[in-house]
């Protein structure tokens, strides 16, 4: 099993951009151009973030001529699951009920969201994943 790295908010932005482009490779210039509109980051900032992600093992690269092509080394699903588990453990002591109570109490749920929650509960019961 891979060890899934934890990301800063800025690193999440870069990874989401790279995941959107996958399986095609990404280059720093294109990533910076896509992120510049809503972050204001320069290409230099994006390259710094890419280097951090390479060191964390979240990205891999291939050098092609003078270009560095970046590919995700971890999936978005793996990273979301690891982040969600970490958050649940840190903030709610690993207990799902207080998190769900908070979300239900603090957000207005649509009929579709309520139906989805009901579907998830039924699915959990069917799979026997009840403590």
pTM: 0.83
Residues 15 and 60 in one domain: yes
> What confidence tens digit (pLDDT) does each residue in 62-93 have?
999 999 999 999 999 999 999 999 999 999 99
Mark whether 68 and 83 lie in a shared domain.
no
**Section 4-16 average pLDDT:** 97
Res 1 pLDDT > 70:
no
Mean per-residue pLDDT, 50-69: 97
Q: Are 5 and 47 in contact (CB under 8 A)?
A: no
Per-residue pLDDT at 99 exceeds 80 = yes
Classify residue 94: in a domain, yes or no: yes
Boundaries of domain holding 104 = 77-126
pLDDT at 22: 96
| Helix intervals (H) in 22-127 | 28-39, 43-56, 76-92, 96-106, 111-126
């Amino acid at each position: 099993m891979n060890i899934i790295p934890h990301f800063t908010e800025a690193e999440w932005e870069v990874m989401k951009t790279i995941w959107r482009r996958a399986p095609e490779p990404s280059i720093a210039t294109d990533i910076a151009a896509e992120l510049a509109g809503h972050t204001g980051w320069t290409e230099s900032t994006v390259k710094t973030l890419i280097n951090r992600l390479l060191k964390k093992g979240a990205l891999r690269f291939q050098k092609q001529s003078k270009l560095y092509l970046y590919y995700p080394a971890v999936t978005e699903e793996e990273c979301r699951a690891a982040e969600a588990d970490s958050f649940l453990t840190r903030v709610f002591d690993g207990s799902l009920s207080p998190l769900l109570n908070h979300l239900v109490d603090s957000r207005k749920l649509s009929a579709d969201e309520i139906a989805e929650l009901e579907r998830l509960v039924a699915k959990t019961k069917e799979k026997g994943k009840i403590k």
